[in-house]
Amino acid sequence: MTDAEQSQKARRDEDGARDGGRLLAGRYRLGGVLGRGGMGTVWRAEDETLGRTVAVKELRFPSSIDEEEKRRLITRTLREAKAIARIRSNGAVTVYDVVDEDDRPWIVMELIEGKSLAEVIREDGTLSPRRAAEVGLAILGVLRAAHREGILHRDVKPSNVLIEGDDGRVVLTDFGIAQVEGDPSITSTGMLVGAPSYISPERARGHKPGPAADLWSLGGLLYASVEGIPPYDKGSAIATLTAVMTEPLDPPKNAGPLSEVIYGLLAKDPAQRLDEAGARALLREVIATEEAGAGRAADATKVVPLPKPADGGARESRPKLERTPRAAGAPKAAAAATA
């Protein structure tokens, strides 16, 4: 465990010792701390009215901020809850309630048991092109639903994607910096929000983003899923954003059939970028191609059942094998098994 991880664990333990067992709104009993960030804490809690386990996101104010900044953070938190509530997708977290306690909002939502994609990559290794395509297709579904509601996520990255443990369900989280079309609470402050490695070139240049900006971020996520590193990371925010705007992409080494999708989504010009329909078609093609390849490998050698010998006839001394020509892309080991 790194020093940063140990520090985060210590803060979670401190939070749990202080507020664990607290009852919110007469029904949500706080349990252990699931996660903690600079502006909030996520709790496991029990809904004592409905008898179900939920997640509760608590907004926390840094001690150094003024009242205006507090109001801005409250607005951002409420905007996140409203944005998620408008999205109809299996890949979006369900918001159950918003509670006002201690003059700040607490978001009560569906509890997702699993790891973030960032944790999966770090702890279990990179994804295969097929699995990355499955994850990408699920995220694309959430983005499509969000964009239909006029919502831009603006922070698509591996740490904001959860992989549920039981069935591998993919969930896009953290709409805290989402931009909602027509929302008067959105103001132009000149501040660029989001992870620099996953910010699109047009956003880095200060241009007004559209849905294509989220698709660029998805391309960066797919790149990181198969390569283990983001497409652009120069050590500092300024250097990384400059590279995003000006430097060509380092060719992915492990993407295989996913390369076309990655290059299409990471086109610097949003007008030339792969759109949602094109990305969906190519991701499905990657999944189908990988499935077909696995099927061909399994069928590369077939054993033909022996015919029953005629009465009094002699049995064949050894079984006969039917050799099926190896299709392009099938593993050599499967072909060698027929020799």
Indicate which residues carry an active-site annotation. 155
Rounded distance between C-alpha atoms, residue 60 and residue 38, angstroms = 8
Cα 60 to Cα 77, 103, 195, distances in angstroms? 11, 11, 21
Nearest to 263 by CA among 284, 276, 279: 279
Query: Is-contact 31 44, C-beta < 8 A?
Result: yes
Length reported for the chain = 339
Q: What is the DSSP letter of 259?
A: H
Query: Is-contact 104 61, C-beta < 8 A?
Result: yes
Q: How many Cβ atoms sit within 10 Å of the Cβ of residue 241?
A: 20
Residue in the structure block whose two tokens are 């549920």: 164
Residues 6+ apart with CB under 8 A from 218: 136, 139, 140, 143, 156, 265, 279
**Alpha-helix residue ranges (DSSP H) falling in 20-102:** 67-86
HSE on the CB side for 205, CA within 13 Å?
13
Containing H/E element for 252? none
Rounded distance between C-alpha atoms, residue 200 and residue 152, angstroms = 12
Q: What end-to-end distance do the CA atoms of the chain give, in Å?
A: 50
